[in-house]
Every structure is written in C-alpha cells, then in structure tokens.
Amino acid sequence: LHRPTQHQLFHLINNVGLSTALLGDQVDFDRVLQRTSVPGLRVLTSGPLPPNPAELLGSQRMLELLSRLRDEADTILIDSPPATLLADAAALSVRTDGVLYVLRAGKTRGDVAKRGLAALRQVNAHLAGVVLNGTSTKNSGYYYNYDAYGYGHTGKNNEEYGVAVLPGPNSGQRKRMPSLTGS
C-alpha cells in the first residue's frame, strides 16, 4: 500500500483493490479480484493509496478480509515491502500461514537480510522459505545448483527452510550468496 507495482506487472487497473475493500462497507470480490492472463490467478491490487497503510493492514477488517479470501482461493500470496523498511511486513506476517522471505542476489546485503529475519522472528512469524531472485544457476557453485532448490538453516532453532533461486537478467554473472545464519 506504499508503492504498488503488482497492477503494472499484470497489466491491471488499480482504481479499486485492497484499500477500497478495507475502507468500504461491503467487499465485492467480483469487483476487486481481477483476473489475469495466468489461468486460475486473480489479483487484489492495492487500490488507491490510503493515508494509514500500517493501521489498515493491522486492522480487524484485514483479518476478516483474509478469512473471506481463504474461502475464495486455494493459496493467497501477499506482496509486502521489505521487512526492514516498514511495519507492514511484520503486521501481515502474523496474519498468514507462512512467510516467503525474498532477497535479491547482489542487492540485498547480508546485514539487511539478517535484520529482516530478526524482525520477522520478533513477531513470531513462520518462515516458510527464502527466495533468492536475480541470480544465476549457471556455474553458481553453491548448494542451490541442483534444480535451483536447496536447504539451509535458520541458525536459531536449527529449523530447515527451503531456498528457491530465480534466474535474473545477468544470469551469466556469478554472485556469492550472503550467509543468513547466525546472529
């Protein structure tokens, strides 16, 4: 609800969406859930930018909306700002079944990634996995070169989490993956 981009990625209008669903009297899913060119995928865009995004995302109305969305869909993915920048990620993380922590190879510094993990741990978010995007699987050398998937540890409770790697535009360049273990 700060700098929305999903409507651009999917070529959708953004005059209605999450903000209108949260601020309106009744939610009309036929109006706010937009179909995409991807079969079976509907997107709830951000809608007009509200003055109080963190308050809206932490509201009882958001809980009710998520409950209704669970009746509408098999899987719900929520795109939020980085966990280290705004309170939105923390507010949303405790209202979900799990968090996929997304990092960009060569852009996200290790200390920033660790701060984000710490922020999610502080609110007892369930870390379902880590996605490392913008990297190369060609000549990558690390454990994620087997079908672009591997395992790591959170370090704290020795919990396992999956790491998915999505190739980026500079897939010929080799980048070292930052370590996320430890404190």
Each residue's pLDDT tens digit, 18-39: 888 888 777 777 888 889 898 9
Each residue's pLDDT tens digit, 42-93: 998 988 888 787 788 888 888 888 898 888 888 888 887 766 555 667 777 8
Write phi, then psi, for 90 (nearest 5 degrees).
Answer: -65, -45
**Does the pTM of the predicted model rise above 0.75?**
no
User: How would DSSP label each residue in 35-46?
Assistant: E-SSTT-EEE--
Each residue's pLDDT tens digit, 100-133: 888 888 888 888 888 888 888 888 888 888 888 8
Cα separation, 169 vs 12, whole angstroms? 24
Helices (H), the chain: 6-9, 18-23, 29-32, 53-57, 60-72, 88-93, 110-122
